[in-house]
Amino acid sequence: MSIIKNLETEIKEIIKQAGYELEKYTLENSNRRDLGEFQINDAMQLASKYHENPREIAAKIVSELEKDDRFTNINIAGPGFINISLSNEYMAKLLNEMEENIFSNIDKKERKKILIDYGGANVAKALHVGHLRSANIGEALKRLANLLGYEALGDAHLGDYGRPLGLVIKEIQTRYPSLEYFDPTYQGNYEELSLPITNEDLEKIYPLASNKSKEDEEYLEDAREITAKIQRHERGYYDLWKKVVSISKEDIKKTYDDLNVQFEIWNGESDEMEYYDALNQKIEEAGILIDSEGAKIIEVSEDSDTSPMPPLLYTKSNGSVSYETTDLATILEREINVDPDEVWYVVDGRQSLHFEQVFRAAKKAKLIKENKVLEHVGFGTMNGRDGKPFKTRDGGVMPLKSLIELVNEETLKRINSDTVPAEEKATVAKTVAIAALKYADFLPFRATDYIFEVEKFSDLEGKTGPYLLYSTIRMKSLLAKAEGIKAEKITKLKGNTEKDIALTLLNLPNVLDKSLETRSLNEIAEYLYKLTSYYNKFYAENKIITEEEEELRNSWIVLTKLVYKVNNLLLDVLGIKVPNKM
């Protein structure tokens, strides 16, 4: 149990000593620091339960609290609000415990296996800003879940199935008709062949082929046929598809790497569709497939629906499968191979209908056990200054790489040439740029749309990633300077700012819990800013290392160590790397 939860249990015990039983008790950080650090607001609730006057109840609780020298400044306000503060000695003791082992103030959850689907990059198409949000939020939720004791796994769920790949290969065939892949008499090993196409080419080929197919019926028909050939694993076409996937995948991996995002599972939709027959069998057994003008659908509406719930399209009238079907096959495959208790889909909120249909169909077809949870963790869009989804200068969808580039230009201007050697500047600027992007992405509640302003979020001042990095690096260099000083424990706390820091530190488990519960990192992002700002205020108010009173100096150094540890821990949860200098 965390330090703070432990304290809650003990206070609950004290209230019991006073003669009152509370079911649940949470320590509330007071917003009236002049009255006390914490509030106990339960006397009113107890009053109705015990039919007594709340102020009298409060008085009895206070007299119990007063026997305990861990608490000071105990008083009653208004109808029966109790204010308490922790004694300096006790506060110091708690902080020391936390400094020795940060996990002493983190609550572990009951073990559960959670699969998080937060990739969704599409092969042969450039990643765009929507994929950025999936990656940021998904990776951070995964890290948070693991920190809190779950077993969380990430699946990249690459979009490598269906027409887009058929189109890409049709265009390759148009350009290079004599490639061995298209020669039915070719007997050699395809794996040894090289392809005269780079990832940049692929990213240009897809939009071009897609446009062509809209104007040229024959071209589209060819692409359809090729798609079918790939799906039948036809020699040559299937091998070229594999090649295209591997070229694209390498580039996708690089981008995810830049974002400090790692997946445990790298399945693609095509791997999942290997379970299509098994899926068909389940669907058949459930008897839920309905013919509808040549297409096959599954009814998913329920009596309690308040808005229309259209049926799920299982196969289209031309026999091809839908996006929904790939997700159903995926659910079955995961149930068989991973057996997760919960699956979280960190995907654009605009796909909520899709997921609702898929989840309902999955339950109807009994693809997963009753007690399993499927959850769409939807997010809002990252918008440009005009309040519309981020666009390039010429109005196209902003590729993720261009966005990173844009932020990078800004952060590069702010790297300090006195401290960062010239040859490291580019790498440091990139790390800072990723931090700027990620932190801005975490600040608003997950489901809210927000405006990303490049200069604002790249700034070293304000609620930004660079501010947090800069401050954390400064803590580190202070600690490096203090290397020779034997500072081991916090034994003295003096000013109000130190108390603010201390109370914020103690509150850590509540913030982590809330973030996990809401599946949103905004709580952690705000907390990091709060803790860092308090620390910076304290840093400005005191000359830490040159403080003459040794006990105070040592306490301050240890406090710095603790803040530094918490910052690193939380930045790591957010998937933000801290450079050595900046």
Task: Give the type of residue at 99.
Answer: E
CB 414 within 8 A of CB 458: yes
- Residues 318, 301: Cα–Cα separation, whole Å: 25
Q: Which is nearer to ligand ARG, 132 or 508 (CB)?
A: 132
DSSP state of 259: T
For position 157 contacting ligand ARG by CB under 6 A, the verdict is yes
Q: Given the DSSP bridges, would you call strands 289-292 and 295-298 parallel, antiparallel or unpaired? A: antiparallel
| 480 HSE (CA, 13 A, CB side) | 8
For residues 384 and 391, is the Cβ–Cβ distance under 8 A? yes
Q: Minimal distance in Å, beta carbon 520 to ligand ARG?
A: 19
Q: Specify the residue, 37 or 327, whose C-beta has the smaller distance to ligand ARG.
A: 327
Choose, by CB under 6 A, the member of 347, 407, 490, 506 that binds ligand ARG. Answer: 347
Write the CA distances from 506 to 39, 99, 138, 323, 526, integer angstroms.
Answer: 15, 11, 27, 46, 15
Does residue 138 interact with ligand ARG by CB under 6 A? no
Task: Provide Rg for the chain, Cα atoms.
Answer: 29
Residue 287: both structure tokens together: 């008897």
Nearest distance from C-beta of residue 340 to ligand ARG, angstroms: 13
Cα pseudo-dihedral 329, 333, 339, 345, rounded to 10: -50
Q: Which is nearer to ligand ARG, 62 or 165 (CB)?
A: 165
For residue 531, what are the contacts with CB-CB under 8 A and spacing of at least 6?
Answer: 501, 504, 505, 563, 566, 567
Query: At its nearest, how many Å lie between ligand ARG and the CB of residue 581?
Result: 37
Instruction: Considering the complex, state which of residue 157 and residue 553 has its C-beta at the smaller distance from ligand ARG.
Output: 157
Mark 462-495 as b/e (b = at least 16 C-beta within 10 Å): ebbbbbbbbbbbbbbebbeebeeeebeebbbbee
Q: Which is nearer to ligand ARG, 398 or 563 (CB)?
A: 398
- Indicate whether 345 belongs to the interface with ligand ARG (CB under 6 A): yes
Phi-psi domain of 298 (left: phi exceeds 0; alpha: psi -120 through 50; beta: other): beta
Which one of 69-77, 115-123, 466-474, 573-581 is the stretch in contact with ligand ARG (CB under 6 A)?
115-123
Strand duo 382-383 + 450-451: pairing: parallel
CB closer to ligand ARG out of 80 and 154:
154
* 154 lies in the binding site for ligand ARG (CB under 6 A): no
Task: Read off the DSSP letter of residue 513.
Answer: H
Which one, 155 or 239, has the nearer CB to ligand ARG?
A: 155
Considering only 55-63, 66-74, 116-124, 386-394, which stretch makes contact with ligand ARG by CB under 6 A?
Answer: 116-124
Q: Which of 30, 72, 85, 122 binds ligand ARG (CB under 6 A)?
A: 122
Residue 256 sits in the site that holds ligand ARG (CB under 6 A): no
- Strands across the sheet containing 312-315: 289-292, 295-298, 312-315
Give, as ranges, the residues between 365 and 424 that touch ligand ARG (CB under 6 A): none
* Secondary structure tally for the chain: helices H, strands E: 21, 13
Q: Which residues of 350-385 are buried (b: 16+ CB within 10 A; e: fewer)?
A: ebeebbbbbbbbbbbbebbeeebebebbbbbbbbbe
List 159, 340, 465, 579, residue binding ligand ARG (CB under 6 A): 159
Closer residue to ligand ARG, CB minimum distance, 379 or 534: 379
Considering beta carbons, is residue 157 or 430 the nearer one to ligand ARG?
157
Tokens representing residue 418 in the block:
């006195």
Q: Which is nearer to ligand ARG, 42 or 117 (CB)?
A: 117
Q: CB of residue 356 vs ligand ARG: minimum separation in angstroms?
A: 13
Closer CB to ligand ARG, 98 or 137, in the complex: 137
Residues 48-77 that bind ligand ARG (CB under 6 A): none
Cβ-closest position to ligand ARG: 120
The closest alpha carbon to 142, from 578, 521, 426, 452, belongs to 521
Q: What is the nearest approach in angstroms of ligand ARG to the Cβ of residue 279? A: 14
To the nearest whole angstrom, how small is the minimum distance from the Cβ of residue 346 to ligand ARG? 8
Q: How far is the CB of 118 from ligand ARG (least distance, A)?
A: 8
- The label of the residue with tokens 């196209």 reads 396
Site for ligand ARG in 170-229 (CB under 6 A): none
Alpha-carbon distance of 116 to 270, in angstroms, equals: 18
Q: For residues 211 and 214, give the distance between their C-alpha atoms in angstroms, rounded to a whole number.
A: 5
- Asked whether position 230 contacts ligand ARG by CB under 6 A, the answer is no
CB of 454: closest distance to ligand ARG in angstroms? 24
Q: Taking the complex as a whole, how short is the minimal distance between the CB of residue 270 and ligand ARG, in angstroms? A: 12
Q: Compute the least distance from the CB of residue 322 to ligand ARG, in Å.
A: 11
> Is 168:206 a contact under the CB 8 Å cutoff?
yes
Query: Segment 314-333, which members bind ligand ARG (CB under 6 A)?
Result: 327
Tell me, rounded to whole angstroms, the distance of Cα 285 from its chain centroid. Answer: 37
Considering the complex, what minimum distance in angstroms separates the CB of residue 380 from ligand ARG? 15
DSSP, collapsed to helix, strand or coil, labels residue 355 as helix
Residue 117 vs 251, nearer CB to ligand ARG = 117
Q: Which stretch binds ligand ARG (CB under 6 A): 77-85, 89-97, 114-122, 195-203?
A: 114-122
Six-digit token string for 538: 């304290």
Q: Which of 185, 119, 188 shows the shortest CA–CA distance to 154?
A: 119
CB 522, min distance to ligand ARG, A: 22
Binders of ligand ARG: how many residues, by CB under 6 A?
Answer: 8
Identified binder of ligand ARG from the candidate list 117, 139, 239, 500, rule CB under 6 A: 117
Q: Based on the shown chain and the rule CB under 6 A, indicate whether residue 120 belongs to the binding site for ligand ARG.
A: yes
Nearer to ligand ARG, 120 or 579 (CB): 120
Structure-token pair, residue 383: 């918008």
Measured from the CB of residue 159, what is the shortest distance to ligand ARG in angstroms?
4
Question: Which of 391, 565 has the CB closer to ligand ARG?
Answer: 391
Angle, nearest 10°, between helix axes 129-147 and 550-573?
Answer: 120
Residues that bind ligand ARG (CB under 6 A): 117, 120, 122, 157, 159, 327, 345, 347
